[in-house]
Amino acid sequence: MRRLNERAALMRTVKQLGVKDPSAIRFAYGLVVETERRKNLIDKFINAVVEPKKINEYTMGIQAFLRLYVYQTRVSKNWTKINLKEAENVASMGRAILGWQTMREVETILGFLLTKKLEPIIETASEAEKISLQTFHPTWFVEYCLKLFGHNEAIAFLNGSMKTPPTYIRINTLAAAEEATVQKLKAESVELEKTPLLNYTYKVLGSKKPLNALPSYAEGLFYVQDKASCFATQAANPKPGNILFDVCAAPGAKTTFLAQLMQNQGAIYSVDFSAKRMKTWKKETSRMGTKIAEPVVADAMVSVPLLGEADLVVLDPPCTSTGVFAKQPSAKWRLSPNSIRNMSELQWQMINNCAEKVAKGGILAYSTCSITLEENEEIIERFLKEYPEFTLMDIEPKIGMPGLNGLTKCQRLYPHIHQCNGFFIAKLQKQ
């Protein structure tokens, strides 16, 4: 079974059920995301009620119902108020969807779920597990952050990763002048705030309609792109006329911004292993008016099958996404310490394959949306030992925190400090 994130899973369900009401879809998405975000706390609470049984011993349908039931009747009420009528309505919907025979197994526990107190359950937990239940993160990841950042900074980061960061857009100057697009968006009731030090990047303060439903979106006047991603692309600093290899390029945010910074002059060869994601890349590059990019479907872990060398190689490899838990809460429950080790080996293979494609005097830009050492500084440290012809470069502008392990020329962004996804950026030049 293919793993889907919250949005993809919901969109599939919406399509299957034929739901058309945008407000109903938004409510359902919020309900799913906020329930998934608190999965460890909700599961621990349910397990305390159904013991000696565990929630994972029930069918998938019952598991989903119990979690949504606890979120809606308890979590959303801050565990204080009890609305019996609402609880009955939620249970009734569960019977309508799953069938009364399926629901019969858990009917007797719904009342206990509605009245049991949370505090005694948390009080019995260890210190690390208490933090994990309070910040909604796996205990192993809490322990990892405590070791990496220290207690106070770890708590700040974990709390920051509970809050979805603002939405940002990047104005596309290949389609129209920046100020003209800002004025058009204002006329479309989009309220924007310029992001300091980043070119063409704006925080969305408000919008009456979904951004992808606006006429200016269809016209390719902007791209919905996180501040950290915009920074990583700007930091690469491509120039008009460059030969550029964009590795792990889909769905197209980097490619379209790179082409914009190059003023559609030069050549970009965009590599990604997923033919499906490259279909999205083609739609996005077309929408954004990108003229200089060519798609290449290939696995960069095996090789970068491009002839010649590039002035700039941009690598944004797959990662554990520990910097985007706020946007994709389901991701954190799929990870383990082994995930970090496995992902770092994949990243090492990719950066190795990219190194040989950098021309003399050229640049290799590496970035991830992860905060782990193994996927970031340790990759760069190992790379510098294996490839002494490369040296770290300063990154401009300086909006992030210095890299760890003494790699101060690298930059890190954190949700609780920078109001965006967690990110790591390194820039290396071949002597």
The residues assigned a catalytic role are 369
Strand partners, 411: 402, 425
Max CA distance (Å), the chain: 71
- Nearest-CA neighbor of 227 among 165, 161, 298, 281? 165
Q: Is the peptide bond before 317 cis (omega within 30 degrees of 0)?
A: no
CA distance 143 to 132: 9
CA distance 263 to 32: 41
Q: At what angle do helices 337-355 and 377-386 cross, to 10 degrees?
A: 40
CB of 326 closer than 8 Å to CB of 228:
no
Query: Within 13 Å and on the Cβ side, how many CA atoms surround 8?
Result: 7
CB of 189 closer than 8 Å to CB of 208:
yes
Helix, strand, coil percentages in the chain from 3-state DSSP, rounded to 5:
50, 15, 35
User: What are the two backbone dihedrals, phi and then psi, of residue 89, each rounded to the nearest 5 degrees?
Assistant: -65, -40
Catalogue the E-assigned strands of 67-197: 167-171, 190-194
**415 burial via Cβ count (<10 Å: 0-12, 13-18, 19+):** buried
Catalogue the E-assigned strands of 127-238: 167-171, 190-194, 201-207, 222-224
List CB contacts of 68: < 8 A, sequence separation 6 or more. Answer: 31, 32, 35, 90
Amino acid at 329: P
Q: Measuring CA to CA, how many Å separate 56 from each of 47, 51, 59, 62, 355?
A: 9, 12, 8, 9, 45
